[in-house]
């Protein structure tokens, strides 16, 4: 077991793919190249030699004028997916070279010929470089991290962007530190904006996919990373987040974890998301959220529709849960929005829990909901006609229930230990029916 530090010092090498035309081509045959969601298709004219085919395709990729009477559906200069790739020719071969060394592209070919013409792609030089996890020159000791190693990102701003699917390598006993002194990205944004004035949906892997046993993020001092994307690949991972940089992806948390089965996520500070995308799922995750002395800012956590939360403990911060379900939540401080998420057992001892529902998610509580201490339950964001399963218990004089527009259609509250009616805001025109709490 060793300590492997991210250096980001490997030499950048440009990717080169070749596509070779062979055999007999005819007028109206087609040759295509696809990168991302864009396909350039060239329909061959009267010049049908294989050298003519590759010349026509190269011109289309580069956005040059037609070389003869061929036609094409579009040209590469109109699409950012092609904007940083240059096509050249050598005999009957079209050569695609990445203009940015170290940056990969994924191209595929297709063709339709009347005879036996072929159009075959091959990768001749694989991109690699300083942004690649899988390049040994980027790690101290000149070796890739192995199971049981301690992995450290603690210096510089060189991002780890490519070679991110390392799920085939066991790292279950490894622990990864991403300190505040490291300000690079780990992973990619969903939208690629590398080309000035143009964007496209990123087709390279966006998440570091790994069975890593643990992550500790944001210790120390510094600006921190504004983009960390981790896919746990269905394995259990224990995570501790102390701080993150400001998110560099608009509308997304700085740090996103996905597909964590059985792990615990502790957030003391920073901007964190869990299963924020459709298709991501953490079927058994525990979340603990609290402010930590010495960190700047307060924690912000969002949980998406694939998160099945077993236990959640909140001491501070601002959060939004659109999770599949929450078995038990204990809320001691901060502000939390529960959006269309069934919660079985809720205890609100401090801070505010707001409920948001829609027409298909109109039951706000499960078996036991309790408000005590200085806790507040607010239902003003729920749709009218919300129902409760069991009475809501209120303990003491410091808690409150806010439902001024009476969104809860039939509210039953059991008040205990000096709780008073004034702690319930139901607007006007209410009927009170008194009884003994169950």
pLDDT digits (tens, 9 = 90+) for 1-39: 899 999 999 999 999 999 999 999 999 999 999 999 999
Q: Average pLDDT for residues 409-414, to the nearest whole number? A: 83
What pLDDT, on a 0 to 100 scale, did the predictor assign at position 358? 64
Q: Give Rg (Cα) of the chain.
A: 28
Burial bucket for residue 114 (CB in 10 Å: 0-12, 13-18, 19+): exposed
Mean pLDDT confidence for 334-356: 90
Give the residue extent of every domain in the chain: 16-125, 145-340, 342-438
For the chain, give the percent of residues with pLDDT over 70: 96
Q: CA 278 to CA 306: how far, in whole Å?
A: 7
Top pLDDT among 225 and 426 is at 225
Tokens representing 14 are 């440009």
Tokens, residue 413: 């509250």
Mean pLDDT, the chain, rounded, equals 93
Does the pLDDT at position 121 exceed 60? yes
Q: pTM for the complete prediction?
A: 0.93
Return d(Cα 42, Cα 315) in angstroms, integer.
Answer: 61
- Judged against a pLDDT cut of 80, whether residue 400 lies above it is answered with yes
Q: Distance between alpha carbon 98 and the CA centroid of its chain, in Å?
A: 27
pLDDT above 50 for 326? yes
Does residue 323 contact residue 341 with C-beta atoms inside 8 Å?
A: yes
Alpha-carbon distance 23 to 114, whole Å? 11
């Amino acid at each position: 077991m060793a300590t492997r530090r991210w250096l980001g010092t490997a030499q950048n090498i440009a990717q080169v793919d070749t596509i070779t035309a062979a055999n007999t081509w005819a007028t109206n045959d087609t040759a295509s190249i696809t990168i991302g969601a864009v396909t350039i298709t060239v329909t061959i004219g009267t010049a049908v030699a294989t050298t003519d085919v590759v010349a026509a395709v190269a011109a289309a990729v580069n956005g040059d004028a037609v070389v003869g009477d061929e036609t094409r559906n579009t040209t590469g200069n109109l699409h950012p997916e092609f904007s940083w790739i240059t096509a050249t020719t050598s005999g009957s071969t079209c050569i695609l070279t990445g203009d940015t060394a170290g940056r990969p592209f994924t191209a595929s070919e297709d063709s339709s010929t009347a005879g036996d013409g072929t159009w075959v792609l091959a990768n001749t030089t694989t991109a690699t470089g300083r942004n690649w996890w899988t390049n040994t020159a980027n790690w101290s000791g000149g070796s890739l991290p192995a199971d049981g190693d301690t992995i450290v990102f603690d210096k510089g701003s060189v991002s780890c962007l490519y070679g991110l699917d390392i799920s085939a390598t066991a790292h279950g006993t490894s622990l990864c530190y991403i300190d505040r002194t490291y300000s690079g990205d780990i992973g990619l944004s969903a939208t690629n904006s590398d080309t000035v004035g143009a964007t496209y949906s990123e087709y390279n892997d966006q998440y570091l996919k790994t069975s890593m046993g643990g992550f500790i993020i944001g210790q120390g001092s510094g600006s921190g990373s504004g983009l960390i994307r981790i896919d746990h690949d269905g394995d259990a991972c224990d995570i501790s987040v102390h701080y993150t940089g400001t998110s560099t992806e608009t509308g997304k948390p700085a740090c996103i974890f996905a597909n964590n089965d059985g792990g615990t996520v502790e957030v003391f500070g920073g901007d964190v998301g869990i299963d924020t995308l459709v298709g991501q799922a953490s079927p058994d995750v525990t979340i603990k959220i609290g402010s930590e002395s010495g960190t700047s800012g307060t924690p912000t956590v969002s949980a998406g529709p694939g998160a099945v939360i077993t236990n959640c403990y909140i001491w501070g911060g601002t959060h939004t849960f659109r999770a599949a379900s929450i078995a038990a939540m204990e809320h001691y401080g901060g502000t939390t929005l529960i959006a269309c998420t069934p919660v079985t057992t809720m205890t609100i001892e401090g801070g505010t829990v707001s409920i948001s529902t829609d027409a298909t998610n109109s039951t706000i509580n499960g078996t036991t909901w309790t408000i005590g201490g200085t806790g507040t339950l607010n239902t003003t964001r729920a749709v009218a006609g919300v129902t409760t399963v069991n009475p809501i218990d209120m303990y003491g004089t410091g808690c409150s229930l806010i439902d001024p527009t009476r969104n809860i259609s039939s509210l039953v509250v059991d008040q205990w230990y000096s709780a008073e009616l004034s702690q319930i805001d139901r607007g006007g025109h209410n009927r009170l029916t008194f009884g003994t709490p169950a």
